[in-house]
Chain A
Amino acid sequence: MRRPLAGLVAVATLTASLATAAPPADDPLLDVAQAELDRLWEALATRPEPPHHLQLAIVDTLSVRVEATHGASNGVRSNHTRQGDVDIRVGTPQLDNTHQLRDATWYDEEPRPEVVLPLSADPARPTAMALWQATDEAYATAVRRLIKVRSDLSVKVASEDSSADFWPAPPRVDLGPTAGLDVDDRAWEERVRTASAAFRAWPQVHDDNVSFTAQATTTSLLTSEGTRLRTPRTWFRVSIWASTTADDGMELSVFDYLDAAGEEGLPTDLSAMASAAAERLVALRNAPVVDPFAGPAILRGRAAAVFFHEILGHRVEGHRQKDEDEGQTFTAKVGEYILPEFLSVHDDPKLERLGDLDLAGHYLYDDEGVAPQRVTVVDHGILRNFLLSRSPIDGFSASNGHGRRQTGAAPTPRQGNLLVSASSSVPYAQLRVMLKDEIRASGAPFGLVFDDISGGFTFTGRSTPNAYTVTPVTVWRVHADDRPDELVRGVDLIGTPLTTFSRIVAASDEVSVFNGTCGAESGWVPVSAAAPDLLVSQVEVQRREKAHDRPPLLPPPGAAP
């Protein structure tokens, strides 16, 4: 059944809607929020500690999820939520309540008010009441925090970063269309059901999940500066997950997915994806475990992209340069080489597509109402800039539109589309030849090719080793001679950023894109990363944590004993 979700203007895709769909003639939600913002601003102006900035944001989300397992559907789940955020600043732009509290404990930070809004702004009062309560609580919290901030500055030594706490942005008015969903959920149910049934041909695959998700988000944002924004976003994903247990107890899984800004960007036959995932999983199950190793490697495709997202991207987020608990790997390295000269890195949230792929990290305005800029982070190996929100850092006084957050969190600088490019590159076949040369030159017993990775994490603070872990799914052992590559399993890629970057030797001319969701201090946000295949002269891998249970004792129902 094709069913538009209630009450919103349906648009086929984000790109189409932005170009063609007219904004709604009236918007009760925006009207209610604007009236309440004006009223709150006026009321707070009379307080002894008036705010210097107030922002109300409302995120309306329509979603549809259809999933199947073992060839049967779990039904169509449609959902509609409307949540809000209140960001209020008291004090002055130079020093306000958001200033870092040094040596603060978890108990020093009060939770932000949760703003759950009615699904309709008609009548207006329920929405206005929710915004009022949240603002009242947020203001009281801000005043209390400002007292602690002032005390912190008196008691502690001078801050290393003397920049202001807030960059006043010029107001912006841009009212785009609302985002809607019009998906044939029953057709998708049949597609995921059929794809999931493909796993029945693989008795060594124990569990599976095939899903289709569609999400349409309309973000309304208003500030006391006069900014009024309404921006739509639609995003669609098909994903396939399959798991098994190896004979040694290691739990193995394969996850594959395709993202698109429009439904037409997704394949309608998912069975081939499912069969490929099953084939890969069974091969992994039978693959040998590799021991801890240090030697040359190629980071292929999405692995290289995620690698840069984790290792470089998080360390050039602006707030980490200001936070004295952070490791600040790159804070003092502006103008210095941090990467080989042939590599440059940009973050460009304005970019909608790369090649045939829609980019998840694209957005029109960040969560502080600032239009994003293409930021040259690294230019031919030299660090040039950081990703910035409206909280400036020394030497960088203005936002470049990277203040982002998950609803409910305070915005911080985050990556959008992190793009790694190489000024000199070689075909992938040549990169493999170079890998074998490195194996021979280093005397290593073999090299590794990381084909795909499921994710990773990195520590950026000072109280922990400034290290990263990347979790590969598919790793190949490559020999210097003519022996064929061998699929291996059971290792995680580990290291530290500066050492690893100094060992990048070459890049291929093939660029791959990772679309995903990144979690950090300001919650989960959609991101993309693109990078060429990279040859690294030395990486280190460690054994992966594993479970100890035997595989299922009985064969699957219906399988031959």
Chain B
Amino acid sequence: MRPVPRRRMPRQVLRALALAAALVVCAAAAKGSSRTVTVHIADMKFTPAHLVIHPGDTVVWQNDDLVPHSVVGGGFMSPNIPAGKTYRWTASQQGTFPYICTLHPVMKGQVTVKP
């Protein structure tokens, strides 16, 4: 009597499962990785003025202006940042953090940290 061949999973199903597994791995990796985002201080304003980041991300304020600036808000307080220098802040908690340049209070920005 001939043995009954075992049913084999169709190739398409196997490919779909492999793809799904790969996507799950990528998503997990992305969630754990952090980014560094730059805010340019130029022409007496912050660009971008509103930033959305995740916990663990780092914001770098780059002073491209001719004069010193600062960034002071609920979650961070920089010293005066001389022309050409930077200030870094890593977000550790969620929230919305409006900030100003204390030297030139017309300059306003906001960082929103969300998962």
- Binding partners A and B: no
